[in-house]
Structure 1
Amino acid sequence: MPTPAADSAPATASDRRRWAQYLADERAEGAVYRSLAARRAGEEREILLSLAEAEKRHEEHWLGLLGGEPQRMPRASLRSRSTAWLARRFGSIFTLALAQRAEARSPYDTDPHASPAMAADEKVHHEVVRGLAARGRRRLSGTFRAAVFGANDGLVSNLALVMGIGATGVAPQFVLFSGVAGLLAGALSMAAGEFVSVRSQREMLDSTEPSDYADAGLPDLDLDANELALVYRARGMGQDDALEQANRVLARARAGKTPTRPTAIDGHEVVGGAWKAAASSFLFFAGGAIIPVLPWIFGLSGIAAVALALALVGLALLATGATVGLLSGAAPLPRALRQLAIGFGAAAVTYVLGLVFGVSLG
């Protein structure tokens, strides 16, 4: 319901336009959650449908203030329409990330015609969507990390390489050869490094997870000594809790029941697979590293090749930075500009060094 402060003044034409816009946006956001729910099952589906119901309550609030359906219904904001389009076609982590940002930008905190409960709803919705998005991010994190790092490293390292070599004044064919060699060497190195890194991390997780090694000997343990309690104390339980847990496990073992184990966080899901990480790293590094070389592949040289390489790599860096920002639930533009500054900074350093070496060799 409207706040007392909002009731004290008659609604203006500007107020009614704003309420109609809120109504359109709430309907679009509700459609996003229903589209996402249609692609999911179980608990996630129920959560998304509950969010859609909450958006329906907000619709009714603005309809009440408007006195019914407005004669001229505005379109939902471009952000809301874009999110709804993604939800209908993909239902991906990108959609949840965009929805998370949308909930964080709610105007209800400062609008006197929005109830405090509605403003509180939006804050809670932000955390709910963050939690749903976090599940997808965990499933995506291992391969995605390798892909993003690979593409970014390919863009930056090969741009810096061709800029530095090109600045020395060597023939265009030598720049092209250096770029292709840098692509292959870097992609293979990245793939090998990712494989070793992820495989080692998974092996470390395997070695730290609880095992059933001692289960066969449980019925024969001395109940008075109960060294099983030491196992639970080593896993972080207090002395009394460890003893209580050990007694429960022994009782189940002597009754012929399978020992129960606490559910652990699946670290393997976060780390990802070693082969997938290696393949992603190789392909995305190669995909990024080929972009700075394209002008020389198509026969350009000199300033024209340098300018085109910078333009192509700049667009790619902006895209990768924005993608990382979206998936992390943060503003995409600052991340995009950060990627651009890092990439161009590295290229500028090597270009200056190439000029220095080119003059000295000349």
Structure 2
Amino acid sequence: MSTPPEPTAKDRRRWARYLVDERSEAQVYRELAGRREGEEREILLALADAEGRHEAHWLALLGGEPARLPSPSPGSRLLGWMAGRFGSIFVLALAQNAEGRSPYGTEPYATATMVADEKIHREVVRGLAARGRRRLSGTFRAAVFGANDGLVSNLALVMGIGATGVGSQFVLFSGIAGLLAGALSMGAGEYVSVRSQRELLDATEPSDYADDALSDLDLDANELALVYRTRGVPEAEALERARRKVEAAKAGQPIASRHATDAGGHHEVVGSALGAAASSFLFFASGAVVPVLPWIFGLSGVAAVVLALVLVGLALTATGAMVGLLSGVSPLRRGLRQLAIGYGAAAVTYLLGLLFDVSIG
């Protein structure tokens, strides 16, 4: 790295900002570590120590603690507030995004080691967040996307029907019917989907079907080795494993249930069928009721349509941003994408309604 230019007052203000941000990030990791134990706690404390080294770098450049420091950025304050109260996957997702936006890559006074640290930190936080994402993937997927489906489908329904010029009461009843039909369909479909996936995983997992016959197998020529080979174990290792297993069975030693130990990881990722179905039903209904609210409160015509668009737009942006946040990508970009999809579907059905050549009354 080339020699940086002589520092200016602007440089010192920027260093003070970096100093504050590093302290805020270190505090977030310590807050999260206080809610964890074991390896996760050690990893988070190591991240806090690394941020402390970066803090020391800026302190050295500043010549010690400045008399005045800038306030933490809004993002840092939000992250600190959430870490102190939730300690959840949302905080790790925000921290992952923050690490990915490090300005050190273009900062002439940051060392190459600090630039590398920030890149590695993002991957470390991504790994920690991935554990929570796996736990959320089943029920959370049904909840968030159930709400999104309810918003889009019922908005499209009421927009299409409203464009035909029918009475507001007809639009209201159509929206409520769409809510109930969609929520029941989503809940039933999600239950069948998750239940089928769990059953499929059960069918692929090792079973103890033949364990009671192990003691009768020949030590030197037993087909148990073939079982291990079907799981990708090399032939020599499979033969050795099979021999040890048969010897244990002949000696009367208990055999641990493979099904009990192998099923848990897969099922944790898939989630509960009933939980996914309930979440899908409730969140679809919560999303589908939003477009109907103007008609529920007695509005009609253009005023009801405009208010429905505004309410659904806010909800779509919020759900999209939440998905983006948990995915480790830009919440704004995902929110705008959801908004465009929802409004696009509503526009299509509205135009179809207008083809009936009746204006909104």
TM-score normalised per structure 2: 0.95
Aligned partners of 2:358 and 2:74: how far apart in 1? 53
SS of residue in 2 equivalent to 1:5: coil
Q: Secondary structure at the match of 2:110?
A: coil
Deviates more, 1:339-348 or 1:69-78: 69-78
Q: Which residue of structure 2 lines up, in the alignment, with residue 295 of structure 1?
A: 294
Spell out the pairing of 1:137-156 with structure 2 (5 A cutoff).
Answer: 137-156=133-152
Cα deviation digits, residues 190-232 of structure 1 (max 9, x gap): 0000011111111111111112222222222112212111101
Shift of 1:255: 4.4
User: Which of 15, 26, 32 is equivalent to 2:11?
Assistant: 15
1:114 maps to: 110
How many Å separate the matches in 2 of 1:217 and 1:117? 60
Determine what percentage of the aligned residue pairs are the same residue. Answer: 73
SS in 1 for 2:356: helix
- Counterpart in the other structure of 2:3: 5
Give the Cα–Cα distance (whole angstroms) in 2 for the partners of residues 259 and 12 of structure 1.
72
SS of residue paired to 1:285: helix
* Residue matched to 1:134: 130
Go from structure 1 to structure 2 and tell me whether the alpha carbon gap of 1:128 and 1:255 turns closer, same or farther (over 3 Å shift): farther
Give the gaps of 5 or more residues in structure 2: none
**Alpha-carbon distance in structure 1 between the residues aligned to 2:118 and 2:239:** 45
1:166 partnered with 2:162: yes
Determine if contact 2:219/2:247 at 8 Å carries over to the other structure: no
**Structure 1: which 4+ aligned runs deviate by more than 6 Å?**
none
C-alpha offsets along residues 130-176 of structure 1, whole Å, 9 cap, x if unaligned?
Answer: 01100000111101100111101100000000001111111110000
Are 1:216 and 2:212 matched, yes or no? yes
Amino acid at match of 1:302: G
CA distance in 1, matches of 2:330, 2:26: 22
| 1:240 corresponding residue in structure 2 | 236
RMSD: 1.7
Counterpart secondary structure, 1:357: coil
Is 1:176 paired with 2:164? no
Report the equivalent of 2:81: 85
User: How far apart, CA to CA, are the structure 2 residues paired with 1:10 and 1:248?
Assistant: 71
1:188 is matched with which residue: 184, 189, 206? 184
Contact 1:167–1:358 (Cα < 8 Å) also in 2 = no
SS class of match (1:337): helix
1:328-361 CA distance string (max 9 Å, x none): 000011111110111111111111111112449x
Aligned length: 356
Q: Does 1:250 align with 2:250?
A: no
Q: What displacement does 1:258 show?
A: 4.1
